[in-house]
């Protein structure tokens, strides 16, 4: 009886996933990912997924819209602007590293061929600081959120357009690693990212509606009422991993960088609307 | 009468001494035993971590077990170390079972 129960549990757990012997291209992944949501929530406009759970939760949306009238992230944008304009000790500023100006969030994450790695915006900011003799910022909490808020605000309306260059197999490998991370079960609860935000998007977990994965990357950094402050995308990755009782990885380490690369690619075509406000 | 008193006292002192030695020895044995369990748990945790399969609380359990051992709570320390070792093994097995990418069947590729 016990054995039968075990076998049944295994069967149920396996159900919903198939072993993929066939390789899929990023373009095919993108189409399958976005089509999944079109079928799942046929009344939601694709562009509206940038609003996260509020694209599928009308009551939550009303509350959120009321919050957005006096956005809690506004002071962070102002602080970030001051950071952008304030010279480093050597007299240079962020502008010297990013001559095209602060509206640059749409360029990240991207594949850095020279470095052979995914370059994220927070990493690029810290590289700039280090190159100018400044101490790098912490990746989850603190001042990095202010400057990211400012840069995201300035980048609003830019369209997500992550490219996986075909001339560099390392780039495709990074994308594939990010994809593998996304669909991998981990932690004591044995969940993958996809279990919550793809398969069960829209379902209620305790009191929360599970947000759809599509559009997840467009609105970061995010002011979360739970945090009482603005936090980065990698802080959220950390939180998600902890919630399934897995040991989180290092913020802006290879695992989360590649995850960001894949996840942002999945939102290609959606406009940036950060910083956001969430529960 | 005095002789009997001395004999009684010596006997008592002897018993006390031997039981203290036994207790100290038992402590040493328990410490070594539990330390072994903690080391095994840490090895299991590291094995899981190497394949990216470490669970959230395993490290914390090991740390707590070490603290309990220091306090002399052998039973609780051993129990926690065993639990952590099990988590380490399960985390490793989980990561191994996930070695290959498994795309969900509900994602339709055309």
* Band of pLDDT at residue A40, cut at 50, 70 and 90: very high
Tell me what pLDDT residue A260 has: 98
Whole-number Å distance between alpha carbons of A256 and A248: 9
* CATH architecture designation of domain A74-154: Orthogonal Bundle (1.10)
Contact B55 A247 (CB under 8 A): yes
Residue B61 host element (H or E): helix B58-71
Does the residue B15 lie in any domain?
Answer: no
Taking a contact as any Cβ pair under 8 Å apart, which residues of chain A between 26 and 85 contact chain B? Answer: 28, 31-33, 35-36
As a whole number, mean pLDDT of residues A156-169 equals 97
Residues of the domain holding B83: 27-97
Q: Is B81 helix (H, G, I), strand (E, B) or coil?
A: helix
A23-70+160-278 and A74-154, same CATH topology = yes
Residues in chain B with CB shorter than 8 Å from the CB of A190 are 94
* Band of pLDDT at residue B62, cut at 50, 70 and 90: very high
Does the residue B3 lie in any domain?
Answer: no
Binding residues of A: 97, 128, 193, 196-197, 236, 240
Residues in chain B with CB shorter than 8 Å from the CB of A245 are 55-57
Residue A119 host element (H or E): strand A117-119
Contact A18 B56 (CB under 8 A): no
Contact B56 A179 (CB under 8 A): no
Contact between A198 and A129 under an 8 Å Cβ cutoff? The reply is no
* Band of pLDDT at residue A233, cut at 50, 70 and 90: very high
Give percent above pLDDT 90 in chain A. Answer: 91
Does the residue B104 lie in any domain?
Answer: no
Does the residue B71 lie in any domain?
Answer: yes
ipTM: 0.87
pLDDT digits (tens, 9 = 90+) for B64-103: 999 999 999 999 999 999 999 999 999 999 999 999 999 9
Does the residue B17 lie in any domain?
Answer: no
Give the best residue of B97, B98, B103 to mutate against chain A (max A CB count within 10 A).
B103
Adjacent-strand bridge partners of A229: A224
Does the residue B10 lie in any domain?
Answer: no
* Domain count within chain B: 1
Taking a contact as any Cβ pair under 8 Å apart, which residues of chain A between 106 and 165 contact chain B? Answer: none
* Cα–Cα nearest to A140, from A227, A76, A74: A227
* Band of pLDDT at residue A23, cut at 50, 70 and 90: confident
Does the residue B84 lie in any domain?
Answer: yes
Reply yes or no on domain A23-70+160-278 having CATH 1.10.760.10.
yes
Across A116-146, b (16+ Cβ under 10 Å) vs e yields: ebbbbbbbbbbebbeebeeeebebbeeebbb
Domain boundaries, chain A: 23-70+160-278, 74-154
Is the CB of B103 inside 8 Å of chain A's CB atoms?
A: yes
* DSSP structural state of residue A272: P
Residues in chain B with CB shorter than 8 Å from the CB of A24 are 103, 109
Q: Is A181 helix (H, G, I), strand (E, B) or coil?
A: helix
Chain B nearest CA to A36, separation (Å):
6
Whole-number Å distance between alpha carbons of B95 and A184: 8
Q: Is A277 helix (H, G, I), strand (E, B) or coil?
A: strand
Contact A18 B58 (CB under 8 A): no
Does the residue B62 lie in any domain?
Answer: yes
Contact between A263 and A39 under an 8 Å Cβ cutoff? The reply is no
Q: Per-residue pLDDT for A11 more than 60?
A: no
Give the chain A residue nearest B93 (alpha carbons). A186
Binding residues of A for heme c: 97, 128, 193, 196-197, 240
């Amino acid at each position: 009886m016990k054995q039968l129960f075990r076998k049944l549990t295994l069967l149920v757990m396996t159900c919903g996933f198939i072993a993929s012997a066939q390789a899929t291209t990023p373009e095919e992944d993108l189409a399958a990912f976005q089509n999944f949501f079109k079928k799942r929530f046929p009344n939601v406009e694709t562009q509206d997924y940038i609003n996260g759970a509020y694209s599928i939760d009308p009551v939550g949306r009303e509350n959120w819209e009321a919050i957005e009238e006096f956005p809690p992230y506004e002071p962070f944008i102002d602080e970030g602007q001051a950071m952008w304009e304030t010279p480093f000790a050597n007299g240079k500023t962020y502008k010297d590293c990013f001559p095209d100006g602060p509206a640059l969030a749409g360029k990240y994450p991207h594949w850095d061929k020279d470095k052979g790695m995914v370059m994220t915006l927070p990493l690029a900011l810290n590289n700039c600081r280090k190159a100018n003799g400044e101490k790098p910022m912490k990746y989850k909490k603190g001042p990095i959120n202010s400057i990211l808020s400012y840069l995201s605000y300035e980048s609003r309306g830019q369209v997500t357009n992550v490219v996986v260059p075909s001339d560099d197999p390392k780039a495709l490998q990074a994308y594939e690693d990010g994809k593998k991370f996304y669909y991998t079960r981990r932690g004591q609860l044995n969940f993958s990212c996809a279990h919550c935000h793809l398969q069960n998007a829209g379902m209620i977990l305790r009191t929360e509606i599970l947000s759809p994965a599509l559009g997840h990357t467009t609105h970061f950094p995010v002011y979360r009422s739970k945090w009482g402050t603005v936090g980065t995308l990698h802080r959220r990755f950390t939180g998600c991993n902890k919630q399934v009782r897995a040991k989180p990885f290092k913020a802006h380490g290879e695992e989360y960088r590649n995850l960001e690369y894949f996840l942002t690619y999945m939102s290609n075509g959606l406009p940036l609307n950060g910083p956001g406000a969430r529960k | 009468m005095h002789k009997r008193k001395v004999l009684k006292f010596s006997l008592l002192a002897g018993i006390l001494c031997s039981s203290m030695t036994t207790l100290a020895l038992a402590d040493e044995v328990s410490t070594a035993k539990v330390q072994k369990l903690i080391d095994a748990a840490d090895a299991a945790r590291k094995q899981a971590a190497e394949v990216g399969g470490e669970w959230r609380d395993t490290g914390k359990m090991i740390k707590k077990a070490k603290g309990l051992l220091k306090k002399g709570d052998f039973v609780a320390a051993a129990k926690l170390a065993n639990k952590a070792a099990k988590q380490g093994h399960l985390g490793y097995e989980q990561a191994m079972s996930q070695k290959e990418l498994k795309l969900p069947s509900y994602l339709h590729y055309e």
